[in-house]
Structure formats: C-alpha cells, structure tokens
Amino acid sequence: MTENMDLSMILRSDKFQFALGLLIFSFTILFSYLYVPDPNIYYGGAILFLAIYMWLLTPISFIFSTFLIIVASVLLGLLPQDEAFRGFSSGTVFFLMGAFILAMTVEKHDLHKRIALSFLNYFGKSPKRFLLGITLVGAFLSMMMPLHGVTALFIPILLSIFAFSKVDILKSDFGKANLLALSYGTSVGSIATFLGGARNILAVEIYSQYTGESVSFVGWFVSAIPVSLVMMAAVYYVLVKLFDVDSVNMDDIRGRIESEVKNLGSLQMGEAKALGFLLCGFIAWATMGQLFGMGVIAIALALVIGASKSITWEDVESKMPWGTIFLYVGAVTLSLVLPRAGTLEHITSFLLSIVGENPFLVLAIFAVITVFASGIMSNAAVTAIILPVALTTMGGMGFPLTVPMYTIAMASGFAFLLPVGTPSAMLVYATGHLEAKDFLKAGFILSIIGVVTFLTIGLLWWRLLGHW
C-alpha cells in the first residue's frame, strides 16, 4: 500500500512530469533527425508538443516554459536568436504591463468595491435580480481589469454579504448559483475588451503577424460586445433554470449591502484618481491607439499613475502577474516557429483531408475544440496553439482571417466546464462551496450555447461589420 502511494506521488510530481516531457521531446527530435528527410516539420511539432505539455501540466512555471521554448527553437535552427526573442520587444507586452498597473490602481483604492456594491444595491430586491446583478457586475468589471482580479476582489465582498443571512446561503442553490455567476460572468465579460485577458491582445498580435494588419481597441469592442451580451443573458438564464434561487429571503442581504454602501461614504481622492485614470485610458486607447500604439499609451498611463503616487513600485513588483506576461512571450515565439518549420501547413493539410474545405464547418470544429480545450488549460495557451492553425487553414481557403481570430480568442474565454479552466473558476471553487459537478451541470450547456452563438449571432454581426 505504501509503495503504491509512493509510486503514485512520484508519477504526479513536477520533477517526474518535467523529465518525462523532455524525454518524449528528445526522442521525437532524435527520430526525426535520423529517419525523416525534412525533419524541420517534426521539430516544429515537437516544440508544439512541448508547449502543450508544459502549459497543460505546468511542471515548471510559465516563465521557465517560455525559456525552454525559446532555447529549443534556436538550438534546432528554426529561429534565429533575434527573432526568438521578438515577444519581449513587442509593444503588446508593455500594453499588458500598463493594463495590469491600471488594474492594480483600481484595486488599491477600492474603486471596484464601490462599483460592485452600487450595482448590487440596485439589483438586491429579489434573489433572481441579485443573481443577475452578480452576473453583470462580474462581466462589466472584467471589461476594465483582468477577470481573475475581479473574482479575487469580489469573493470577499460576496461572502461577507452572505454571512449576514439567517440561513447558510453558501450551502443552498442560491449560493452556488451566485458563485458560478461570478466565474461565468467574468469569463463572458472579459472577451469584450483588450483589458479582460491576455488572450485577446495575443490573438491580435498573432493575427498581425500573419496579415500585417492591426485591430483597434474600439474595433475589438464593437466586434465582441454583442457576443458578450448574449452570453451574459445565457449565463443568467441557465443558472436560473438549473438552480432553485427563489428560496432565499433577501431582507438581511439587502440590509447588509445598504450598510456597506453607507460605510463607503463619498468618493475619496484615491478613488477619484483611479476612476480618472480608467476613463483616460479607455479614451486614449480608443482615439489614439492606432496612431501611437496601444503599448505606448499603456506605459504613458502607467508613468502618470506612478508620478501621481497612486501606486508604488513595491505594489507593482509584488502583484504584477509575470507568469502571464511570459506565457504571452512564449506564445509569440511558438506562433513564429510553427509556420517557419512548415508544421502549420502539415497540420492544415491533414485537417482538410478529414473535414473538407467548407469554411463554416472548419470554423465550427475550431470553435468546439477551443471551448473544450479551454476547460483544461490556460486561455492564452489555447489561443497560442489553435489560432495559428486556424489562420493558416482558413487563409488557405481564402476566408477572411478576422473571423477565426475573433472566434478563437473569444471561445477560449468560455472555460465553463471545469474548475481548472480559468483562475476565476479556481478561485470560486477554492471557497469550498462548489463541486466539480456544479461546473459540469451548467458548463456543458453554456459551452454548447457559446459555440452556437459564434456560428449564428457572431457570424451575422461580423458580416454586418464587413469582416467577411
């Protein structure tokens, strides 16, 4: 018994999984070198395997997996040194850093708390309205800051409100539905702007590499907001149908929310500054993003925030999600390697030989794969892996590439099925009041609705906008 447990622990250990991944990678390289006339295609496939393996199992951090991808790409001769490090020089990296600093400023001065409590004060008249409020506040806040940040900041507020009820709400369907609404709401809201998650701006970077074209802050928002709004409604409708949310008396909860709103008092100077920075950032990205670059505006905004003493370097150093930034860099390197090695064309030919050349069928397949893959690994990683294949495949059919870009980036945000799908899902699961079956029950239905939404409302809207 003890020996079996020891063996199981060894097999699950990060050291063993890391060694196993490197061993499979090395054997693939050796076999390709010895027996394949044009090994570069298989070298690219081996690096693709390495990325998927390291991003899925995470035996090492995203920082070190990025280093591994860069080193392997250069040593195998697939990329020259300067090109392998291109991700670090991308303006998008600095956009992410500036956006994170803006989000930290909002968090530090509790602006998010005032917005959230004001929303809930309006929606707290009935259990169903409260659930709708949780869905909407999670969604709209995640348009302004990363979704996992919204969830992490909002959970304590939600739990403190529920604690004032005379019954144990968190063991009820109402409590479970609201935790799921927070997770799902932040996911569907985050697809609407570049600020919601790294996958959105990563998708634009990969698209730009393939086409030489860019997508503006406003252009993305206009293209994404109808899908986001439809999915907000879907989240609310599915949760109301699956969970009995009407059995809760809202009097105690409403009293607690009203008390919290009164305790906030009038708008403080720090909150006012954070609100001003937020509005200025949106306006500048919307009006001057194409002229000066999203990254330049982001670091200019960060400079102003720092100069105003609204946030310190210690705040930035301790809270900056460096792993997400390095994951982005690794994703950029991977998107350069795959076409250079010829791996993308090889995968594309294989896919088309199976499903044919109907672009809508191919798009549907990519959407389904993306939604379900996002349930088990990072959204940005899914985008980095699937989007280059989708762009190459659909570009070969002469189909406009904005459509697969929007579809893959947005679909990767619909990680509804499992608690490991997104950091926000893991955070609500970590409260201990949800089970995996709660995610599966609602998540499967929402995943299907998400795919159908892309292929109907999404395609129709993008047609009206002239994307295809």
The more confident residue out of 418 and 195 is 195
Residue recorded with tokens 């150093």:
317
Percent with pLDDT over 90 in the chain: 31
What pLDDT digit, counting tens, does each position of 18-46 carry?
Answer: 999 999 999 999 998 888 888 998 999 99
Residue 43 CA to residue 32 CA, distance in Å, equals: 7
pTM of the model: 0.82
What pLDDT digit, counting tens, does each position of 138-152 carry?
Answer: 899 889 888 877 887
The more confident residue out of 327 and 66 is 66
Indicate the SS3 state at residue 38.
coil
* Mean pLDDT on 207-215: 89
The pLDDT value recorded for residue 167 is: 63
Tell me the pLDDT of the chain averaged across its residues: 86
What pLDDT digit, counting tens, does each position of 360-371 carry?
Answer: 999 999 998 888
**Residues recorded for the chain:** 468
What pLDDT digit, counting tens, does each position of 350-406 carry?
Answer: 877 887 778 899 999 999 888 888 877 778 888 888 899 899 889 888 899 999 999
Residue 227 CA to residue 143 CA, distance in Å, equals: 13
* Mean pLDDT on 174-187: 91
The more confident residue out of 6 and 191 is 191
Percent with pLDDT over 70 in the chain: 97
Name the burial class of residue 35, with classes exposed (0-12), middle (13-18) and buried (19+) by CB atoms within 10 angstroms of its CB.
exposed
Which residue type occupies 292?
A: F
Check if the beta carbon of residue 377 is closer than 8 Å to that of residue 56.
yes
Lowest mean pLDDT among 154-168, 218-232, 343-357, 445-459: 154-168
* Mean pLDDT on 155-174: 74
Lowest mean pLDDT among 125-139, 148-162, 297-311, 406-420: 148-162
DSSP state of 458: I
